[in-house]
Amino acid sequence: MSEYIPSNPVDPSESDSIAVSLQRLSKKIQLVTEAVKKLHQDRIQLETKIEDAQKRIQHILSRLPEQSDGRQLNLLGEPATPINLEDSNEPTTH
């Protein structure tokens, strides 16, 4: 088989400019690839945060009393001090 020989040989300066363009494009592709990887990692991190927030919300909602329950809400999980009805009706002295 015969080797292909272009009818118009490539000018060396044109070849250099093509090589420079290819190098520049290669760098841009690398930057875009890194940016896409970073965005993917950020998205995974945000999805994890959203899932955690949803779990916390569900936990809080599960602790809500029924609508017919008249007790005070304690959503923070701190021990509530019981209200002593006998103490609240004592007359005040001046």
Give pLDDT tens digits for 26-55: 999 999 999 999 999 999 999 999 999 999
Which two tokens mark 50? 């959203």
**Residue 50 placed within a domain:** yes
**Amino acid, single-letter form, for residue 4:** Y
pLDDT at res. 10: 59
Who wins on pLDDT, 89 or 68?
68
**Residue 59 placed within a domain:** yes
Mean per-residue pLDDT over the chain, rounded: 80
Average pLDDT over residues 55-63: 93
**Residue 57 placed within a domain:** yes
pLDDT band at 74 (very low <50, low <70, confident <90, very high): low
**Residue 3 placed within a domain:** no
**Residue 72 placed within a domain:** no
30-58 as b/e, with b when 16 or more CB fall inside 10 Å?
eeeeeeeeeeeeeeeeeeeeeeeeeeeee
- Provide the residue range defining the domain that includes 47: 32-63
pLDDT band at 66 (very low <50, low <70, confident <90, very high): confident
Domains held by the chain: number: 1
pTM (2 decimals)?
Answer: 0.49
**Residue 36 placed within a domain:** yes
**Residue 20 placed within a domain:** no
